[in-house]
């Protein structure tokens, strides 16, 4: 993947920051498994596995911590 899609971690508000955290998580999976076919085949497997869903939430939370810190927690 050579397209630059991440311009900045700076966002206007926490909601946008959380959406960026989700995007970071999804892009991490895409970089790890570049095959669309394989990702689509695996989605039903992890989509019904509670442990996988909790792990996904943890990754998003970790990315959100990074985005929040980069935005000084949206404080002036």
Listed in order, strand segments (DSSP E) in the chain are none
Residue-level pLDDT at 73: 86
Domain ranges of the chain: 14-74
pLDDT in tens, the chain (76 residues): 568 999 999 999 999 999 999 999 999 999 999 999 999 999 999 999 999 999 999 999 999 999 999 999 886 6
Distance of CA 59 to CAs 9, 32, 37, 76, Å?
A: 16, 14, 23, 27
User: Can you give the pLDDT at residue 74?
Assistant: 84
In this prediction, residue 3 carries a pLDDT of 82
- pLDDT given at position 75: 67
- pTM (predicted TM-score): 0.88
């Amino acid at each position: 993947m050579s397209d630059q899609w991440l311009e900045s971690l700076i966002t206007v508000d926490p909601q946008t920051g959380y959406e960026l955290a989700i995007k970071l998580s999804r892009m991490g999976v895409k970089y790890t498994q570049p095959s669309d076919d394989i990702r689509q085949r695996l989605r039903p497997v992890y989509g019904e596995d509670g442990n996988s869903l909790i792990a996904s939430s943890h990754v998003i939370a970790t990315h959100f911590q990074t985005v929040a810190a980069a935005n000084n927690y949206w404080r002036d």
